[in-house]
Amino acid sequence: MIGIIDYGIGNLVSVEKALNKNGFTTVISDDISALDKCKGYILPGVGAFADGMKALHERNIIIFLEKIVADNKPLLGICLGMQLLFESGEEDGHNKGLGFLKGTVEKIRTGYKIPHMGWNNICIKKHSILLDGLNNNEDFYFVHSYQAYPDNSEYVIATCEYGQTIPAIVASNNVFGIQFHTEKSSDKGLIILNNFGKLVDKWY
């Protein structure tokens, strides 16, 4: 079972429907006892970094997320959920992140219109099971004004260009992050969520 973590911010039902369509069992919850039974987890999210961390604190989910990572269970962050995986974010002031990946989240440094909104192709930098069945330069749907600036280039699985190179997919051990919205990216997004489901099944 895949746990979709409910902290009041995110496209929870859309992610759940996409996974269910691929045959995976899911639960949407902020109840630690319910989530603890899952084998893998998704942290979705829309909105500001500060609001996301505040919501995780208020629902007492941060310690549970730390346990997930320490126990080597797969965790996938989507959009804001990916950004929260990093050490800090500069949206609405300097805010501490979850710190599972080293680096910061700062405004996109581009001459193009912000937010970065719409379809953009990604450039695959290294192999990942998340990208099985996909080709280089596939299009995905982005909506964000801030981006990750990883300390370690080895985290970066794929990038996109928007007057600036933006990490589109990152990973380190059992922690994965996707900047674009898989649940809004048509069949290609479904393939990635399906791949994450398969990854969870193979993890054990």
Backbone angles phi, psi at 54, to 5 degrees: -60, -45
The yes-or-no answer on residue 123 being catalytic is no
Task: Say which of 38, 91, 116, 183 is annotated catalytic.
Answer: 183
The yes-or-no answer on residue 181 being catalytic is yes
Rounded to an integer, what distance in angstroms lies between the CA atom of residue 16 and that of residue 25? 9
- Name the 3-class secondary structure at 196: helix
Burial class (CB in 10 A: 0-12, 13-18, 19+), 109: exposed
Contact 77, 43 (CB under 8 A): yes
Structure tokens at 49: 């970094």
Task: Say which of 79, 116, 144, 160 is annotated catalytic.
Answer: 79
The yes-or-no answer on residue 183 being catalytic is yes
- DSSP alpha helices (H): ranges in the chain? 12-21, 32-35, 49-58, 62-70, 80-83, 186-203
Rounded to an integer, what distance in angstroms lies between the CA atom of residue 12 and that of residue 159? 25
Rounded to an integer, what distance in angstroms lies between the CA atom of residue 78 and that of residue 80? 6
Give every CB contact of residue 180 below 8 A, 6+ residues apart in sequence.
Answer: 79, 120, 122, 140, 141, 142, 160, 168, 189
Active site residue ranges: 79, 181, 183
